[in-house]
Chain A
Amino acid sequence: MAVSSPFGASIKRREDPRLITGAGHYTDDVRLPGMLSMAILRSPHAHARITNIDSSAAKAMPGVVAIYTGADLVDKVAPVPCAWQPKDSDVKVPEYRPLAVDTVRYVGDGVAAVVAEDMYTAQDAAAAIDVTYEALPAVVKQLDAMADGAPQLYDNVPNNIAFHFHLEGGEVDAAFKNADLTFKQRLINQRLIPNAMEPRGAVASYQRGSNELTLWCTTQNPHIVRLLMSLSTSIPESQIRVISQDIGGGFGCKIPMYAGEMIASVISKDLLRPIKWVEDRSENYVATTHGRDHVDDVEVAVMNDGRVVGLKVTAYANMGAYLSTAGPGVPTWLFTVTQSGAYDIPNVASDVYGILTNTMATDAYRGAGRPEATYLIERVMDLVAAKLKLDPTDVRRKNFIPSNAFPYSIASGAVAYDSGDYDKTLDRALEMVDYAALRKEQEEARANGRLFGVGFSTYIEVCGLAPSAAAGAMGFGGGLYENAVVRVHPTGKVTVLTGINPQGQGEGTTFAQLVSDEIGVAVEDVDVVWGDTDRIPMGWGTYGSRSTAVGGSALVFAARNVRDKMMKIGAHLLEVSPEEVVFERGDVHVNGAPDRVKTFGEIALAAYTAWNMPEGVTPGLEETYFFDPISNTFPFGAHICVVEIDKDSGKADVRRYVAVDDVGNVINPMIVDGQIHGGIAQGLAQAVLEYAAYDDNGQLLSGTMMDYAIPKASSFPDYELDRTVTPCPFNPMGLKGVGEAGTIASTPAIMNAIVDALSPYGVEHFDMPATPQRIWQFVHEQKGN
């Protein structure tokens, strides 16, 4: 498709032709000669000592090749690493082994690995292993786990408190003393299961002779897995190749390095056979990281005019039975730097406790810390409105950071928001719903006894992670720059290598658009490659809505260097100086004389035959760029949700959903809208459908898709989208990132609507999940029946 500028065009995706014809290549599609199947036997107890493992019957089964227990692996592989440990937070990292050695600490904890000719046999054998356990008391909720007398998961983590993080700015105590009104609220942000449609897995193939490990893995960040695997095994980093190309969704749960791939890798090294391990869904539910799980206590100091002058937050984050790769960073830095949201609140103090319990570990899940923060601050705004009898939009506007105040430094100074115009998105959203008419409709509905609610979410979020120095200061064990290689081939085609690693976000298309925009090559002639650590320089993967803001920037700068080199070579071939030529849609021509031109193809070939190169210019036409952002980016927007609750069943139906988002400049509007659609669905689902429920014994009650309800096509109506564009000043494309914004925004929008719908009963707050039963229970109790 010939467009004058690909940037901003809703071009059809280049990834799609193979995916719509069944030619995708996901990890479970990998087949290697001699490949064996691995099954992991998992603990049925939440907390127990392993007193005996008898695998004799299993070993004797035909087709069973080997069985490994935790004891067998102690010398082969290190404990599962935690790579984000916030400083000054008294972080205590428990020793968590890929296969439990003497103690299991959650239902799903791995106890043995069975290797067999096929997966059916491996499962039969796993079922035949006889493990004797001595059950121990389990603790599941964070507040219970930190209390004295609670079962202790690890000797070196007293009271199960793995860290205590503090961030503050301004004069918080004074603010509370001088406020007109102060109030408290406890908010629950319940545990969720990410549910990427592709379960996790790995194929590990260790080669005898070369001593190289090739690891196909469902990961959002192959280089991180390579690095951590080398640190956890005796295999040097330079001899590990991690491949992760087609991935069926990630949403954060494919960031960590897990036991499964570690076990498969060392077993492959031991047996010198390729080993495939792929979870099934109920295994995914107990052994892939969960999201959220906060109990947050907020104290608010507010003036009578609605201005919030102080916030104190104490957050109790359930980390699960061990600290996952990025786990501790989520409820600490990511949560606290967005604590004050879109608002100018000069006095903020946050305390975060990370508590271990006998449940699956938690880590990033779409939004990672920002949904928790946004839910909190957006509920606070509505609580302020309720208590002061002000309109919720007026309270928000009263507190908005003004559009001339950017870059805006938050109270603690930890981050500065890049750019924003919060009134603008709210204005547009209110216009789209016709706010006055909507409130009138609500009045009429209420007069007829209907439960009709309107909820707002004027959110910001922090993404485009991140300046590496800031990452280091925050305890992240790596950098967060990104790399790109723009390689022009002698025949004029272009390959882009990128360290980002999409799981459906569309960079295969948008990055081709960027390159096309910069150097004029047709989008169809650009091949974007990710997910192979042998081909791609060190990068940090796709999460934190960073791929385009950071990875795209690296790409643009690399492409511009290619363009500059092309101009030099072109000028030389045209026998003029570089200042006399212009670069136009891939061709280099003499300024003012377009017929004196060297085409993209001619220059590419010339660069590689090198028969006639300018002084000081080396052969070839390939540029690598490592881009380290100097700032995070801050998308923002206004979402409005209209709900009606059926009194008989308690079911809250979304009648209308309007989203006005500002993600800066947009490369491909269709793809950006798609990210927002998917994000909104997940955020709404947290509010009314999803809950990873453990019982008091640590059994996961919502253990299959029969019980854990993710949205279906019939769950929610169409979302009405619009956008404003407030460019980010800190990257060449002026864009902010969009992968998580929808989820961050939507949970508070619908919860505020539900509380609004129930407000005739005098309720100011209602916890998630707002399932039909819970809403009905509440309404029923109000009626006093």
Chain B
Amino acid sequence: MYPSAFDYFRPSSVDEVVKLLQENPEGKIIAGGHSLLPMMKLRLAAPASLIDIGKVPGLDGVRADNGGVVFGARTTYDQIMKSDVVQRALPVAAEAAGVVGDIQVRNRGTIGGSIAHADPAADFPAVLLALDAKVNATGPNGQRTIGIDDFFVDMFTTSLEPEELVTEISVAKPAAKTGMAYEKFSHPASGYAIVGVAASVTLGDDGNVAAARVAITGAGPIAVRANGTESALTGQAPTAENVKAAAQKASDGMTFLGDIHAGEEYRAHLTRVFTERAINKAVERAKS
């Protein structure tokens, strides 16, 4: 309940954040703090310093960008849910934000924090994978863009350099006839995803699946694309049978986590079930 002591910095610019990261290699960034503080309170994490980016300008806000959306890293789930821009352009993000945690968590947790922390059971890693997002980060060498497929490396590990800060996450305008959905089986105690599947399905003029991105969180150590499912689905008619068959491949090649609520076999099963549900919903939305 009581974190151990740390040095505290409150920078007022992105450059200052980067400088502090360089000067404090044992330091951690804190925004909403709803991933980091619980770990510190159990003393599972004890960073020597915290760099509070709560007041750094230029990190918040959601804006439309050529039909797509750019999320400031510090945008909260509540802001995502309520954003007109998001509801119009990327409704699945608003929907997914609405099933993260609870009202209080959504008022503090941020999209940047979610992906930087890379909790295996967080929701947004799967959503952003399905949306083919791009992550903008700033470090000592300036800015760079990281494709979401290259972002998640391992449990609680991303391809961010230790001295980099996520500043923005951008999602390009979805192609015409694209439907998206996020289906989640929640942990009865923590509310995190035991399994969460995000699907984005684009239909071609022939009514078949022109493109599909399906991503799974919760089941394994990192959020991953269901490559087998995507291949099986692409070019096919989006019938219930085809979706079911493609969904069966979702668990192929995955490493599964297990705990007292859901062991590996059950997670593998739920992966297939919720992949099917997410794709079916996405297809339904693509058609309308």
Q: Which residues of A contact B (CB under 8 A)?
A: 119-120, 123-124, 127, 280-282, 648-649, 689, 691, 693, 701-702, 704-710, 715, 771, 773, 776-777, 780
CA distance A691 to B261 in the complex (A): 10
Supposing A123-B2, A701-B260, A702-B260 touch, asked if A707 and B189 sit within 8 A by C-beta, the answer is yes
Give the contact stretch, choosing among B65-73, B165-173, B263-271. Answer: B263-271
Chain B, residue nearest A119 (CB):
B2
A773 touches B190 (CB 8 A): no
In chain B, positions 169-195 with a C-beta closer than 8 Å to chain A are: 185, 187-190
B205 within 8 A of A: no
B266 touches A120 (CB 8 A): no
B262 within 8 A of A: yes
B21 within 8 A of A: no
CB distance from B121 to the nearest CB of A (A): 10
CA distance A705 to B191 in the complex (A): 10
CA distance A776 to B185 in the complex (A): 14
- List 19 A-B pairs, Cβ < 8 Å: A119-B2, A124-B5, A127-B43, A282-B42, A648-B273, A649-B185, A689-B188, A691-B260, A706-B189, A707-B189, A707-B261, A708-B189, A709-B188, A709-B189, A709-B261, A710-B189, A771-B261, A773-B266, A777-B265
The 6 closest A-B pairs by CB, nearest first: A709-B188, A709-B189, A280-B1, A706-B190, A123-B2, A773-B266
B4 within 8 A of A: yes
Q: How many A-B residue pairs have CB under 8 A?
A: 51
B7 within 8 A of A: no
**For the complex, would chain A's binding face be called helix, strand, loop or mixed by DSSP majority?**
loop
**For the complex, would chain B's binding face be called helix, strand, loop or mixed by DSSP majority?**
loop
A705 touches B273 (CB 8 A): no
Among A689, A691, A706, A776, contact of B266 (Cβ-Cβ < 8 Å):
A776
CA distance A773 to B189 in the complex (A): 14
In chain B, positions 239-285 with a C-beta closer than 8 Å to chain A are: 259-263, 265-266, 269-270, 273
CB distance from A359 to the nearest CB of B (A): 15
CA distance A427 to B223 in the complex (A): 54
Give every chain A residue within 8 A of B1 (Cβ-Cβ). Answer: 123, 280-281
CB distance from B275 to the nearest CB of A (A): 12
Give every chain A residue within 8 A of B2 (Cβ-Cβ). Answer: 119-120, 123-124
Interface size on B, residues (CB 8 A): 21
Give every chain A residue within 8 A of B263 (Cβ-Cβ). Answer: 773
In chain B, positions 113-144 with a C-beta closer than 8 Å to chain A are: none
Chain B, residue nearest A688 (CB):
B188
Give every chain B residue within 8 A of A120 (Cβ-Cβ). Answer: 2
Give every chain B residue within 8 A of A777 (Cβ-Cβ). Answer: 265-266
CA distance A773 to B259 in the complex (A): 11
CB distance from A389 to the nearest CB of B (A): 34
CB distance from B185 to the nearest CB of A (A): 6
B273 touches A649 (CB 8 A): yes
Give every chain A residue within 8 A of B4 (Cβ-Cβ). Answer: 124, 127
CB distance from B143 to the nearest CB of A (A): 36
CB distance from A782 to the nearest CB of B (A): 14
CA distance A648 to B42 in the complex (A): 35
B270 touches A707 (CB 8 A): no
CB distance from B209 to the nearest CB of A (A): 23
Chain B, residue nearest A123 (CB):
B2
Among B42, B43, B261, B273, contact of A773 (Cβ-Cβ < 8 Å):
B261
CA distance A174 to B263 in the complex (A): 47
CB distance from A395 to the nearest CB of B (A): 33
Supposing A119-B2, A280-B1, A649-B273 touch, asked if A704 and B266 sit within 8 A by C-beta, the answer is no
CA distance A771 to B270 in the complex (A): 14
Chain A, residue nearest B188 (CB):
A709
CB distance from A513 to the nearest CB of B (A): 37
CB distance from B267 to the nearest CB of A (A): 9
Supposing A280-B1, A776-B266, A780-B269 touch, asked if A693 and B189 sit within 8 A by C-beta, the answer is no
Residue from B185, B187, B188 whose CB has the most chain A CB atoms within 10 Å = B188
